[in-house]
Structure 1
């Protein structure tokens, strides 16, 4: 008897894993890290990178190997399709992604709790407290993730709607008054990480019984929903916050301090309701993504750990203790961690490698192979931009004088 396709309800709830994985630190960092480029580059760049990232996700999800080897994760997949080099690039990039994202979520929530709520505790205390709760959720696996994602996304939509309604009366149109394409290039890594959901693809495929049509619908719906919310939030924040101001409540100051966008917004909109809702939204968004990333991290470590991968305690400690320690030692690492994740980890693993897959599987001169080369070239630029900034070869900062002139100051 032929196996029935997953129900529409299962496809929708599974697609929320994709959305939840996207709407973590990226949605909170985009207005700050991309804002000094201007509103129009931010919107057009987001649309372009979203489309590209969704396509690379579909490239991975449609590979027959994942359906034929249902317990395999991405390192084993890339080893089979691209050889030993593919595996070790995958392992190295995955470590950057997982540890970077988990650290960014922990640091981001700690920053929101301490800076917005004014908690009279060190950042590491807030971070450790949040770690205990969020990691508990992330430790339960695929089933709890799928059900939990639905609950968290429902809460997030409600909070998101309230935030947008409260921000609209404060629109000033600051971000729409200029364009800085030089700074835009420096923000490419944050755009890549904002639309990354690829680590949950093996989990998504297993949940949907490797049904190709169901997986395709889940990815497009989940990533499209994430794009919609990201664009609405980014535009709202950039139209509300000034680029630069005397009191430091602005996008450029938040950029220098590695703060999520909710922090300066809660200072600008002096309402207790807005403060509470913005904090709740940030915590729920990053918790949803932390859960998805944590589940994918555990699956990854079991895949590459060999015999040690069978020891649940060792896998758990390896997954979650390093981000806790790094976040506690460097509490202001939020945006810096995301840039490293996007430029080096995500760009290599979910950009360059899927592009190489198309090149390898396409006929000479075919559209498939040409598309593969285009993908490789774009993500190679993203990688080079991040490496250049990390090593100090290039130092791109917001053009304060330009934005002051645009704001009439």
Structure 2
């Protein structure tokens, strides 16, 4: 039960992070109604696809990675495709977290160098400090995550308590400036439910306990959805759409969001608590995603390359690429989330549907089976492929750009 609770909080904490913080940035022009509709659709889709992974894991060793699962059903090519997509997805997410965390830390520290150098130093400090916990192991991450999660929920409750009285009905009723923004924002919103990369490490931590993993996924994602809806009601209700978009066009980063809260509410206290919440949300997501990425790299080296290595070396492979991205694209918060959403659509929707399709043929009598037959698997795969292609449609001008 203790591990189930910890896994539930890791699931929720992994989601409540950069994706949640990016929501007001990308949904500013959508309006609250469209935003909640999009959240509901994605929650159902991604919770369902996560449970598909649980079903497939009954046919493999509990410490197997996603690459090993793909190899089991689709051979060497399956491992290459699944591992490549997963690693790009997790690296993109981690890049967003490192960039966002560095930006907030940089705005907090006193001026000790040029803005560019200060930003890079902040990014490095953020990564090294919290990366140490990942290298130590899952148990220490579980303990740290529980502590941070409690403080994050307290910060969120304080933020909501301060912002809800400031809500104006006219802001909540604002119509989208373009209804197709609902589609354009999907890849970024997708990452708000991006805990799937942590499923292998949670399954290993729970030693293959199917019931505990299901509870962790269902309750963890439900907690997150409730938090998202309350967060969106607060930001959309307090922040005037026109003014919010104006500020975000000047600074489409987390600092821009915090500055928008400060200017529109006229309260440095509210802006300060939003900042604290943002930091805690980024850290909990950073921990969950980094843990999943390290486990993915370990699975690749051990099972595909027959290479055994220590966690320090794995940590180096985990954090170096995101650091390089953050150094060269210090304002790439939304950019990284866009790439993450694109990869995530394939990894979290198309891949589990394909694995379950094959697994049900070979193992028709598994103890746990997710409701729905082949028709549902086909529908969610099509939805996943549509989301994968949304960034290309935006670049071609068929869909509007989101802020950032």
TM-score normalised by length of structure 2? 0.88
Question: Once the two structures are superposed, what CA deviation does each residue of 1:119-161 show, in whole Å capped at 9, x if it has no partner?
Answer: 5343222212212222122222211122122111101011111
How far apart are residue 71 of structure 1 and its match? 2.4
Q: Who is 2:330 aligned against?
A: 331
How far apart are residue 355 of structure 1 and its match? 2.0
Correspondence list, 1:345-356, <5 A: 345-356=343-354
Q: 1:85 aligns with which of 60, 73, 77?
A: 77
Aligned partners of 2:8, 2:236: CA distance in 1, in Å?
28
Q: Who is 2:377 aligned against?
A: 372
Correspondence list, 1:242-253, <5 A: 242-245=240-243, 250-251=244-245, 253=247
Aligned partners of 1:238, 1:256: CA distance in 2, in Å?
19
Aligned partners of 1:83, 1:393: CA distance in 2, in Å?
38
Correspondence list, 1:6-405, <5 A: 7=1, 9-65=2-58, 68-115=60-107, 117=108, 119-120=110-111, 121=115, 122-172=118-168, 173-179=170-176, 180-245=178-243, 250-251=244-245, 253-254=247-248, 257-260=251-254, 261-305=257-301, 306-343=305-342, 345-361=343-359, 367-389=372-394, 391-394=395-398, 396-397=400-401
Q: RMSD in angstroms over aligned alpha carbons?
A: 2.2
Aligned partners of 2:87, 2:196: CA distance in 1, in Å?
14
How far apart are residue 84 of structure 1 and its match? 2.8
Aligned partners of 1:126, 1:254: CA distance in 2, in Å?
22
Aligned partners of 1:49, 1:382: CA distance in 2, in Å?
11
2:357 and 2:374 in contact (8 A); partners too: yes
Aligned partners of 2:359, 2:274: CA distance in 1, in Å?
46
Q: In 2 relative to 1, CA 212–71 (structure 1 residues): closer, same or farther, beyond 3 Å?
A: closer
Aligned partners of 2:141, 2:249: CA distance in 1, in Å?
32
Question: Once the two structures are superposed, what CA deviation does each residue of 1:89-125 show, in whole Å capped at 9, x if it has no partner?
Answer: 212211221211111011112233445x485343222
Tell me how many residue pairs correspond in the alignment.
382
2:238 and 2:265 in contact (8 A); partners too: no
Listed as ranges, the gaps of 5+ residues in structure 1 are 1-6, 400-409
2:70 and 2:355 in contact (8 A); partners too: no
Secondary structure of the 1:36 match is coil
How far apart are residue 393 of structure 1 and its match? 4.9
How far apart are residue 12 of structure 1 and its match? 1.8
